[in-house]
Amino acid sequence: MAEAARRTDRNVDRIDTAPAFTQADADALSARFEGVAADELLRTLLHEDGLGRVGVVSSFGTEAVVLLHLVARANKDVPIIFVDTLKMFDETLKYREQVIALLGFTNTSVVRPDPDVLKAKDETGMRWSYDPDGCCEIRKVEPMNRAKASLDSWISGRKAFQSHTRQNLPRFEVEKGRMKVNPLGDWTKEDLDAYFEEHDLPRHPMEAMGYPSVGCSPCTSTVLPGEDSRAGRWRGWDKTECGIHSTTVPKGEGGDLPPGYEPFL
């Protein structure tokens, strides 16, 4: 850990960092914080220098306020980053404002898609309908990569129960040299509901409408009884993640459709 912290200090003035953290660092953190409650983990990490420049990435979705509340109790000055794809539900944008005001964060930012990229690759705004991976790449992944360029580590609200693709989710993982922290990785839906009730936290208004997971408006649908909480995302496509939390996003040359992808309108 001390070695990782020293490496981070040396990189602090760089626009983007070369790989700073390794799997050994993640393993050391996992061992150190094994069995430690999420609130204590965050209080410790956000008052140490071991993670370097750290920020929180939040979707301001149906469960996001739990992590944000924990972070606010630890340090209200931590950067809170939100990716506005320009396809968000109005309810999400209003909910974000409500949560930020409630929790008192002092350093919030919104990143959006590059207008030139949108003009070149999604001029009609309909790419989601035939190439959801390409749409996520230009509206979510690229803006998020810009935001992460100034960070050494980032905190995510992912939980293992949300989807089969998130099972066995570690608390600490390394992504392109950055440490990714998943404080709520082992939390259950029951844990979240209890936390909401204990702290009287506001719910995302769309949850009561049958949306346990909320993303962009064109690619989010209601979830049926018995389905996992993310079943309403990209329904009808072999896709469960936007690309922010996955290592690869299929794309062809120049960001166009890869072979085998056909339009679905």
Residues annotated as part of the active site: 242
Q: How far apart are the first and last CA of the chain?
A: 50
Is the Cβ–Cβ distance between 255 and 121 less than 8 Å? yes
139 among annotated binding-site residues: no
Q: Which amino acid is at 54?
A: V
SS3 label, residue 6: helix
> By C-alpha distance, which of 44, 108, 50, 43 is closest to 79?
108
Residue 167 neighbours by CB under 8 Å, 6+ apart: 160
53 among annotated binding-site residues: no
> By C-alpha distance, which of 19, 69, 10, 83 is closest to 39?
69
128 among annotated binding-site residues: no
219 among annotated binding-site residues: yes
Is the Cβ–Cβ distance between 74 and 176 less than 8 Å? no
Residues at the binding site are 135-136, 216, 219
Residues at the binding site for [4Fe-4S] cluster are 135-136, 216, 219
